[in-house]
Amino acid sequence: MKSSFKLALGLTSAIAASTAVSNAAHAEDLTLCWAAWDPANALVELSKDFTKETGIGMKFEFVPWTNYADRFLNELNSHGKLCDLIIGDSQWIGGAAENGHYVKLNDFFDKEKISMDDFVPATVVGYSEWPKNTPNYWALPAMGDVVGWTYRKDWFSKPELQKEFKEKYGWDLGPPATFDQLKQIAEFFQKRQIDGKTVYGASIYTERGSEGITMGAMDVLYSYGFQYENPKKPYEMEGFVNSEKSVKGLEFYKALYDCCTPPGASNSYMGEGVDAFKSGQVAMHMNFAFTWPGLQKDENVGGDKIGYFVNPKGPDGDQFAQLGGQGISVVSYSDKQEAALKYIKWFANKDVQAKWWSLGGYSCLNAVVKDPKFPASQPYAQTFLDSMAIVKDFWAEPSYAPLLQASQKRFHDYVVAGQGSAKDALDGLVKDWTQVFQDDGKM
């Protein structure tokens, strides 16, 4: 009886102790919030090393891209404690900084000797700084990303197609250097029969609900000469947003949509683009670089069948690309800020960043991307580097959401629905954006 009692007592104590230990461990668990996509899976894998090193467990809250902004901006606005760390979109930085959602990291960087000079400059400006181009840091560049293009190398190298293309356009079929060339290639492939299947020219961004068509159209507009504002007078947009060059750029994007996209591609973004390319529907595919590792590995279209090229040049030789990607921030409402900062310190480490790249994430650390071995490390590495050198980003103002909604509406109305002219769309955009800045008291 005594021994049974002792056994029961022992078992109870053991269970209680293990529960306490487990609770203590759970109390230290960090929750990292991000979008549900391939790099997030790579981060889960990578973070196992952090848990091994520090004993701090990692939990993840991943939300599909279509709900990503809604979900996490709601969480931040309601001062929620769900996320200790957040990998927030580059355009959130202004709002998150001004509304106190993110912890300012300057003191921490100084203390831990993390220098922003060690990161690719465009990613520091894009993901970390607010106000832009000032040394006020709210995030560590985490996932470099940029819009670029993939193409079907196997189709491009078919001798009969090369011959026909040369006869028709007078230049060799290959990755386009200019947008005019890109359109010629897209027209050439549109509704062509290849291997017994009808294929189409290109998959481009046309999505209406979140940010798709803006990311796509801007990718073209930048290289055509679009500017957000007068460089000498902030927020003066008349003649810059709706300049003649911008109008030409938007007309080009519509022409590309009308001539050369697959049927029904009126609401296409990252996922739909990947599907179109993977299913062998399109010759070229506009998408963020994060999709490239997955496509490279794809059995049907990857390996030797896929090629990559940087966003082409505009008519005047200007060449820019839309910045994607995100920085990692500590949420100011988290009770575990110390542990969260430990994660950031660990993540900034060179070896961790090198592993991050090898797992499919895009490191922003100079030591990784400027390594002589980097360009040859993956077939898309050089295109990624070249693209990151020419990036531009959308407004990152605290009012980025209404600014984005306005461009989504104006671009979709013109490009997809064919309402009005490109000039009307851009004039309307100037009007909408002016209203937003007036409401903010900035004009």
Partner 1 sequence: MLNRTAENVARATPEPLARKVRGISDKGLAWLFISPTILLLLAINIFPLFWAIYLSFTNFRANRPNEVVKNLGFANYQRILGDQDIWIAMQTTAHFVFWTILLQTLIGFTLAWLIDRKFRGHAFWTTLILVPMMLSPAVVGNFWRFLYEPQIGLFSYVISFVSGIPPTSIQMLSNVSLAPWSIIIVDTWMWTPYVMLICLAGLRSIPEYIYEAAEVDRASNWRQFWSITLPMALPFIMLAVLFRGIENFKMFDMVNLLTGGGPGSTTEVASITLKRQAFESWRTGYSSAFAIILFVAVFGLANIYVKALNKVKQR
Residue 405 binds partner 1 (CB under 8 A):
yes
Residue 418 binds partner 1 (CB under 8 A):
yes
In the complex, the smallest distance separating the C-beta of residue 268 from partner 1, rounded to whole angstroms, is 10
One residue of 344, 391, 416, 426 binding partner 1 per CB under 8 A: 416
For residue 143, which of 128, 158, 164, 163 has the smallest C-alpha distance? 128
In the complex, the smallest distance separating the C-beta of residue 290 from partner 1, rounded to whole angstroms, is 23
In the complex, the smallest distance separating the C-beta of residue 214 from partner 1, rounded to whole angstroms, is 12
**CB closer to partner 1 out of 71 and 158:** 71
In the complex, the smallest distance separating the C-beta of residue 326 from partner 1, rounded to whole angstroms, is 18
**CB closer to partner 1 out of 144 and 428:** 428
In the complex, the smallest distance separating the C-beta of residue 263 from partner 1, rounded to whole angstroms, is 4
**CB closer to partner 1 out of 95 and 361:** 95
3-class secondary structure, 315: coil
Residue 230: other Cβ atoms inside 10 A:
13
The interface mask with partner 1, positions 78-117, x = CB under 8 A, is: -x---------------x--xxx-----------------
The interface mask with partner 1, positions 339-378, x = CB under 8 A, is: ----------------------------------------
**CB closer to partner 1 out of 303 and 402:** 402
Q: Distance between CA 162 and CA 97 in Å, rounded? A: 52
Q: Distance between CA 332 and CA 139 in Å, rounded? A: 12
Residue 209 binds partner 1 (CB under 8 A):
yes
Stretch in the footprint of partner 1 (CB under 8 A) among 14-22, 44-52, 288-296, 414-422:
414-422
**CB closer to partner 1 out of 259 and 359:** 259
For residue 239, which of 373, 105, 426, 408 has the smallest C-alpha distance? 426
Residues 122-151 that bind partner 1 (CB under 8 A): none
Residue 413 binds partner 1 (CB under 8 A):
yes
Residue type, 237: M
**Strand 140-143 relative to strand 282-288, pairing:** unpaired
CA dihedral 159, 160, 162, 163 (to 10 degrees): 110
For residue 369, which of 141, 174, 205 has the smallest C-alpha distance? 141
**CB closer to partner 1 out of 234 and 418:** 418
**CB closer to partner 1 out of 317 and 441:** 441
The interface mask with partner 1, positions 248-287, x = CB under 8 A, is: --------------xxxxxx--------------------
Q: What is the DSSP string of 254-301?
A: HHHHHHHS-TT-SS--HHHHHHHHHTT-EEEEEEEGGGHHHHHH-TTT
Residue 439 binds partner 1 (CB under 8 A):
yes
- End-to-end alpha-carbon separation of the chain, Å? 84
How many residues at the interface with partner 1, by CB under 8 A?
32
Residue 73 binds partner 1 (CB under 8 A):
yes
Helices 212-224/179-189 angle, 10° precision: 130
Q: Which residues is 285 bridged to in the sheet?
A: 150, 203
Q: Which two tokens stand for residue 435?
A: 């209203």
**Strand 391-392 relative to strand 321-322, pairing:** parallel
Residues ≥6 apart with Cβ < 8 Å to 363: 144, 353, 354, 356, 357, 369
CA-CA-CA-CA torsion sign (377, 380, 382, 384): negative
Residues ≥6 apart with Cβ < 8 Å to 418: 254
One residue of 70, 107, 238, 335 binding partner 1 per CB under 8 A: 70
For tokens 């306490």, name the residue.
20
Residue 317 binds partner 1 (CB under 8 A):
no
Stretch in the footprint of partner 1 (CB under 8 A) among 36-44, 142-150, 310-318, 398-406:
398-406
**CB closer to partner 1 out of 276 and 339:** 276
One residue of 401, 424, 427, 443 binding partner 1 per CB under 8 A: 401
Q: Distance between CA 417 and CA 195 in Å, rounded? A: 33
**CB closer to partner 1 out of 159 and 263:** 263
Stretch in the footprint of partner 1 (CB under 8 A) among 121-129, 140-148, 162-170, 416-424:
416-424
For residue 306, which of 315, 316, 298 has the smallest C-alpha distance? 298
Where does this chain bind partner 1 (CB under 8 A)? 70, 73-74, 77, 79, 95, 98-100, 198, 208-209, 262-267, 398, 401-402, 404-405, 409, 412-414, 416-419, 439
